[in-house]
Amino acid sequence: DAEITQSPRHKITETGRQVTLACHQTWNHNNMFWYRQDLGHGLRLIHYSYGVQDTNKGEVSDGYSVSRSNTEDLPLTLESAASSQTSVYFCASREGVNGKLFFGSGTQLSVL
């Protein structure tokens, strides 16, 4: 079955380190998204992509970057991890503008 997978499920890192979270989907969806989930804030959009070589900033993009070299993958990179980036990160994909959103299972990141 087609799916969207995130790795790792859990990650502990130190401040200042570069961290990359993987997101891979097998639906061949053009639209992919990264969210962070924080209690009291709900889900907030970090970056999104509407296709290969297309990337866009969301509402909380500072300190993060993404790249889209193929349809299946949208890795999220924290250039220099900060404690404020401790969160749960969700990747999602969608077939079209009005298509159903599919979420990954999340990556719990702790920055110490």
Partner 1 sequence: AQSVSQHNHHVILSEAASLELGCNYSYGGTVNLFWYVQYPGQHLQLLLKYFSGDPLVKGIKGFEAEFIKSKFSFNLRKPSVQWSDTAEYFCAVNPNTGNQFYFGTGTSLTVIP
Number of other residues whose CB lies within 10 A of the CB of residue 37? 14
What the block records as the tokens of 107 is: 């990556």
Cβ-contact 74, 23 below 8 angstroms: yes
Residue 39 touches partner 1, criterion: CB under 8 A: yes
| One residue of 11, 13, 27, 45 binding partner 1 per CB under 8 A | 45
Residues 75-94, one symbol each (x = binds partner 1 by CB under 8 A, - = not), give ------------xx-x-x--
Distance CA(104)–CA(91), nearest Å, equals: 5
Rule CB under 8 A: choose which of 27, 50, 55, 58 binds partner 1. 58
Please list the residues that pair with 64 across neighbouring strands.
Answer: 78
DSSP structural state of residue 58: -
* 103 near partner 1, rule: CB under 8 A: yes
Which range of residues in 20-28, 37-45, 62-70, 77-85 is near partner 1 by CB under 8 A? Answer: 37-45
Q: Which amino acid is at 41?
A: H
Q: Which residues bind partner 1 (CB under 8 A)?
A: 33, 35, 37, 39, 41-43, 45, 48, 58, 87-88, 90, 92, 97-98, 100-101, 103, 106, 108
